[in-house]
């Protein structure tokens, strides 16, 4: 493409971004962000969604043959029924459903644009984004809704070898690990599901968990399955143990019986994820360890957000809470930003 054409393209992109002043910009086009945008559009507010990946990027990065824990009606948004022949829908069904909902409401979703920062104040925000080619643009908007979820940032172990290419913090599918030695680190749903899936597809699986046994949060239909595999010795398990280092061909553990080295090809460190605290604090969210925000309401699942009903009086600060809740910024100067946060402690 000739330089002139590229320049015209870039100018068109800049115009597309800056020409319009939106009423609401939603950061994150996951189920919660989509639900927020449907509600703001319904109230006649010109709304744009920005996502650093594809539509429902987090769901897209769930294990490819994952089945949701909740039933379809608990995943519905925008009063659109979620038809599924299964009692619990699959990841692909959910992606298909949210695509259809976005199409039905003709939502303006700008994919592959990462929000870097939010400048300005109530009614005059400028949201700086970067596209996948590193080009920066900005959106003008009156209000900002943050629905960035929590799945993008893994809880790193910070041990030697964690950066090796054989170490993954997200599990996708079992085939590439057939007939290999795999260590799964973690004791909650993601670790249990990955360990079972890998074992069922021919990997030699060792689960390492710092807790005394598989976590009680593991879903009732998964728990007996993984416990029985461990009892039968089909999945090896080290409890009250920690991975202290990862090498090219081995993994070092600290166990109650002393240090142990395991032959190893791949490691899945499925030790949970956390919200983008840097982005949240840059938006004025005050984090503290209190685990309950007085004004927040649990929502359970990704349904029927009431983000719009939240009034944002100035001058009152509210701690953030990790879990299924709304986080409201109540501090002078950052009025106009509403947090819509969904996290189910599955790990
Ligand atoms: C394996 C797994 C299974 C689950 N099963 C269930 C279940 O059965 N039922 C249930 O109710 N919940 C389940 N959950 C919880 C589920 O993740 C959430 O309910 C749901 O994804 C939350 O939706 P959300 O829109 O708030 O966040 P997300 O779906 O995480 O969406 C956030 C979006 O924000 C985008 N984003 C983040 N930062 C930026 C940025 N700086 N700029 C632009 N975009 C950004 C991300 O790309 C992402 O698309 C499960 C979670 C996991 C991990």
Q: What is the pLDDT of residues 25-59, one digit of tens each?
A: 999 999 999 999 999 999 999 999 999 999 999 99
Whether 221 and 335 share a structural domain: no
User: Are 100 and 84 within 8 A, CB to CB?
Assistant: no
CATH number, residue 308: 3.50.50.60
pLDDT score of 321: 37
Whether 20 and 120 share a structural domain: yes
- Report the separation in Å between the CA atom of 151 and the middle of ligand 1, taken as the mean of its atom positions: 6
Whether 79 and 164 share a structural domain: no
Domain final residue pick, 271, 305, 331 = 271
Whether 6 and 119 share a structural domain: yes
Whether 87 and 117 share a structural domain: yes
- Report the separation in Å between the CA atom of 252 and the middle of ligand 1, taken as the mean of its atom positions: 33
The domain of 246 spans: 156-271
Distances (CA, A) of 303 to 36, 37, 80, 82, 324: 10, 13, 11, 12, 11
pLDDT score of 14: 60
**pLDDT tens, residue by residue, 258-297:** 999 999 999 999 999 998 989 988 888 777 654 444 444 4
Domain final residue pick, 224, 246, 271 = 271
Round to whole Å and give the CA distance between 49 and 39. 13
Whether 327 and 291 share a structural domain: yes
- Cβ 181 under 6 angstroms from ligand 1: no
Count of beta carbons in the 10 Å neighbourhood of residue 225: 17
Whether 168 and 120 share a structural domain: no
> Based on the structure, what is the number of domains in the chain?
2
Whether 262 and 246 share a structural domain: yes
Q: Which residue has the CA at smallest separation from atom 5 of ligand 1?
A: 68
Widest CA span in the chain? 68
**pLDDT tens, residue by residue, 133-175:** 999 999 999 999 999 999 889 999 999 999 999 999 999 999 9
Q: What are phi and psi of 266, to 5 degrees?
A: -140, 150
Whether 267 and 327 share a structural domain: no
Whether 326 and 293 share a structural domain: yes
Mutate to test the pocket of ligand 1, among 99, 170, 302, 305 (most ligand atoms within 8 A of CB): 302
Domain final residue pick, 232, 249, 271 = 271
Whether 144 and 250 share a structural domain: no
Site of tokens 């639900």: 35
Mutate to test the pocket of ligand 1, among 27, 30, 67 (most ligand atoms within 8 A of CB): 30
pTM of the model: 0.83
- Cβ 29 under 6 angstroms from ligand 1: yes
Whether 145 and 131 share a structural domain: yes
List the beta bridge partners of residue 50.
27, 110
């Amino acid at each position: 493409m000739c330089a002139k054409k590229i320049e015209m393209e870039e100018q068109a992109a800049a115009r597309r971004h800056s020409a319009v002043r939106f009423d609401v910009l939603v950061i994150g086009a996951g189920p919660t962000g989509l639900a927020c945008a449907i509600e703001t559009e319904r109230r006649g507010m010109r709304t744009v969604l920005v996502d650093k990946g594809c539509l429902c990027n987090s769901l897209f990065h769930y294990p490819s043959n994952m089945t949701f824990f909740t039933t379809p009606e608990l995943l519905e948004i925008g009063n659109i029924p979620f038809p599924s022949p299964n009692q619990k829908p699959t990841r692909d069904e959910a992606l298909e459903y949210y695509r259809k909902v976005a199409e039905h409401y003709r939502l303006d979703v700008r994919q592959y644009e990462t929000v870097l920062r939010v400048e300005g104040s109530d009614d005059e925000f400028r949201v700086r984004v970067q596209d996948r080619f590193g080009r920066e643009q900005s959106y003008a908007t009156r209000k900002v809704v943050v629905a960035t979820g929590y799945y993008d940032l893994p809880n790193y172990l910070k041990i030697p070898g964690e950066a090796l290419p054989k170490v993954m913090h997200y599990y996708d599918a079992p085939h590439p690990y057939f007939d290999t030695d795999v260590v799964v680190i973690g004791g909650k749903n993601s670790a249990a599901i990955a360990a079972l899936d890998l074992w069922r597809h021919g990997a030699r699986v060792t689960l390492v968990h710092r807790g005394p046994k598989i976590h009680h949060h593991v879903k009732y239909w998964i728990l007996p399955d993984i416990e029985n595999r461990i009892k039968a010795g089909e999945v090896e398990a080290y409890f009250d143990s920690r991975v202290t280092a990862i090498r090219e061909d081995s993994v070092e553990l600290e166990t109650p019986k002393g240090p142990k080295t395991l032959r190893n090809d791949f490691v899945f460190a499925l030790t949970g994820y956390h919200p983008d605290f840097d982005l949240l604090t840059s938006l004025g969210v005050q984090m503290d360890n209190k685990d309950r925000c007085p004004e927040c309401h649990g929502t359970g699942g990704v349904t029927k957000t009431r983000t719009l009903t939240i009034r944002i009086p100035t001058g009152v600060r509210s701690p953030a809470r990790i879990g299924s809740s709304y986080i409201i910024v109540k501090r002078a100067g950052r009025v106009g930003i509403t947090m819509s946060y969904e996290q189910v402690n599955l790990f």
